[in-house]
Structure 1
Amino acid sequence: MMRMTVLASGSKGNSTLVASSRTRVLVDAGLSCRELMRRMAIAGEDPSALDAILITHEHLDHVAGLAVLARKLRIPVFFTEQTHRAWVRMLTPKTTMTYAKWLDHLQQEKEAKAAQATVQESGRSAEDLCEIPAVSLEDVQAEEDAPPAVKADPSALPAVEYFLAGTNFCIGDIDITPFTIPHDAADPCGFVFAAEGIRMAIATDLGYMPPNVKQAIAGSDVLLLESNHDLEMLRDGPYPWSVKQRVLSRVGHLSNHATAEFLSRDYDGGAAYIVLGHLSESNNAPELARISAEQAVGDRMRLLGNRILLAEQAQPLESIQL
């Protein structure tokens, strides 16, 4: 048996649990640790039974609770190397120096050099040396043994594992195929999970459906697919034009129309469940996404057995078990 439980899906946070009879993997941790634990409890999942966390990309709605959750559960996190580096950079505090501070810094360096030159030119007398307080060996040893003051590293994780898009790997008894997706992140990926003869795929946060994604998700029994926005609602909606351009771009998000086009033209019809995810709260309506997908699937009689579900932002979707 395999099961998929979408804990949250949308611009405010994404997380999905995929499990076989022996292995449990959390895909993304885009809510706070506390909220993720709460939603797992609602869904009847035991957080302490998780084996790993798998990250699609470094955007905040996919990693907001990652570090705290991983440290709390003491489980490894799987990234591509580029995604891990981008995530660490995102958490590393950025220090900037104003022009005034830079001038002060230059002045301090100049004064320090002048003072050092004065000492070297004048030399130091025996009396000056006698005035220097003695330092005991015990003091030196105590200073060396003292633990350094280290600030907590916000990106610290119990363990990090790297994978490569296009290269299969396993977590427990689940075989995982990561595939590259077109999105404006460092190295974004979707995934196909296979165990016990069942295939489950996650393909969200992609600006369009390239051939490699279509090929990767073919033959899936459960398909979590993005249906982010309605084109007219986005164009007339509250977002700034720059954000609208990003969403509509080839590294943005799939519209209801683009998802329906894939379902009517390229979808192989093999999934028992199609889950529509990452629906925009501002630029979409659940029923618009559902009707668009149902019409696309319904136009092909052999696909009428497919069940279309909507993943929600506010609460977990009931677990899908096959």
Structure 2
Amino acid sequence: MRFSVLASGSTGNSIYIETENHAFLVDAGLSAKRMEQQLESIGRSMKNVDGILVTHEHSDHIKGIGVLARRHKVPIYANEKTWSAMNGLVGDIPTEQRFHFNMETSMTFGSLDIQSFAVSHDSVDPMFYVFHENDRKLAIITDTGYVSDRMKGYIAASDAYVFESNHDVSMLQMGRYPWSIKRRILSDVGHVSNEDAAIAMSEVVAEKETHIYLSHLSKDNNMKDLARMSVSQTLEACGIRTGEFVHLYDTDAEKPTELVTV
């Protein structure tokens, strides 16, 4: 199983995952043209993609879905409430390309099993995904105001994580955002901070080689170096030293990460 974080941030989000016989996108929050360019930069194209898995209906996760679906005849998977919320946002998608992936269920594609699980975010029915192939596990969890014990049960002991580390609390509190937006981000249906993300990580990582990609960083209220330092320090305070079996990586709003094997 291989993956690349094609884009991560408030301007657009998408992740590419492939096995020997199947490939999927999780979200397509860039324009269709940009999505095609991002795939090309890792040596892939929409011809490789068997489907797009939608997490929720916010624009930074679905911006390119309608055009990609129509242009490339690719299947789109989302839960029922998210499909309803996307009506009018993604244009017409043919019935034969519209598939329901229900909350907290699994779908199997050859050797790949995909589990969906609920998160806490201010959208109609947000959910993320865990990918299993043989004994390897990749968990994707962003856009959640907190990480519950139920979420931890789904993502525990993964070999790789794409894990939200959205903001530094002090930067957010002192920044230019109006209080209503600050309150939303800090709420249980907003986004997790660097420190809260690290505490959750400390409770799910197993004592094995684990790769964590810090994702969905706020452009205004976080920095890559700060996120990495904050997460590393918090993990260390929880008894986990990064660089031993836990390794941290940056993601970017513009540049895909290297296509790596889980």
Q: Could you list the per-position Cα deviations for residues 274-301 of structure 1 after superposition, in whole angstroms to 9, with x for gaps in the alignment? A: 0100000100011111011222334435
Q: After the TM superposition, which residues 108-257 of structure 1 pair with which residues of structure 2 at under 5 Å, given as runs? A: 154-157=91-94, 159-257=97-195
Moved more, 18-27 or 165-174: 165-174
Q: Aligned equivalents of 1:240 and 1:186: distance in 2? A: 24
Q: After the TM superposition, which residues 78-93 of structure 1 pair with which residues of structure 2 at under 5 Å, given as runs? A: 78-90=77-89
Normalized per residue, the structure richer in strand is 2
For 2:60, what is the secondary structure of its paired residue?
helix
Give the superposed CA RMSD.
Answer: 1.6
Sort the Cα spacing of 1:173 and 1:70 in 2 relative to 1 into closer, same or farther, 3 A: farther
Which residue number corresponds to residue 14 of structure 2?
15
Which residue number corresponds to residue 24 of structure 1?
23
1:268 to 200, 206, 211: 206
| Contact map agreement 1:220 1:271 (CA 8 A) in 2 | no
For 2:87, what is the secondary structure of its paired residue?
helix
Residue 317 (structure 1) shift: 0.8
Q: Aligned equivalents of 1:297 and 1:261: distance in 2? A: 7
Counterpart of 1:82, as a letter, is K
Q: Aligned equivalents of 2:164 and 2:207: distance in 1? A: 17
Q: Aligned equivalents of 1:39 and 1:182: distance in 2? A: 29
Normalized per residue, the structure richer in helix is 1
TM-score by length of 1: 0.77
Counterpart of 1:54, as a letter, is L
Sort the Cα spacing of 1:195 and 1:283 in 2 relative to 1 into closer, same or farther, 3 A: same
Decide which structure has the larger Cα Rg and report it.
1
Counterpart of 1:7, as a letter, is L
Q: Could you list the per-position Cα deviations for residues 135-171 of structure 1 after superposition, in whole angstroms to 9, with x for gaps in the alignment? A: xxxxxxxxxxxxxxxxxxx232451110211111123
Q: Aligned equivalents of 2:240 and 2:218: distance in 1? A: 30
Q: Aligned equivalents of 1:266 and 1:63: distance in 2? A: 29
Counterpart of 1:37, as a letter, is E
Counterpart of 1:216, as a letter, is Y
| Contact map agreement 1:219 1:271 (CA 8 A) in 2 | no
Counterpart of 1:306, as a letter, is V
Sort the Cα spacing of 1:235 and 1:321 in 2 relative to 1 into closer, same or farther, 3 A: same
For 1:57, what is the secondary structure of its paired residue?
coil
Q: Aligned equivalents of 1:169 and 1:39: distance in 2? A: 26
Sort the Cα spacing of 1:192 and 1:265 in 2 relative to 1 into closer, same or farther, 3 A: closer
Sort the Cα spacing of 1:191 and 1:89 in 2 relative to 1 into closer, same or farther, 3 A: same
Sort the Cα spacing of 1:262 and 1:301 in 2 relative to 1 into closer, same or farther, 3 A: closer
Q: Could you list the per-position Cα deviations for residues 191-220 of structure 1 after superposition, in whole angstroms to 9, with x for gaps in the alignment? A: 100113211010000000111110000121
Q: Aligned equivalents of 2:241 and 2:194: distance in 1? A: 22
Q: After the TM superposition, which residues 276-291 of structure 1 pair with which residues of structure 2 at under 5 Å, given as runs? A: 276-291=214-229
Q: Aligned equivalents of 1:179 and 1:73: distance in 2? A: 28
Counterpart of 1:190, as a letter, is F
| Contact map agreement 1:207 1:247 (CA 8 A) in 2 | yes
Residues paired across the two proteins, number: 259
Structure 1, unpaired ranges of 5+: 92-153
Sort the Cα spacing of 1:29 and 1:306 in 2 relative to 1 into closer, same or farther, 3 A: same
Residue 253 (structure 1) shift: 0.2
Counterpart of 1:320, as a letter, is V
Matched, 1:315 2:255: yes
Which residue number corresponds to residue 55 of structure 1?
54
Q: Aligned equivalents of 2:146 and 2:99: distance in 1? A: 28
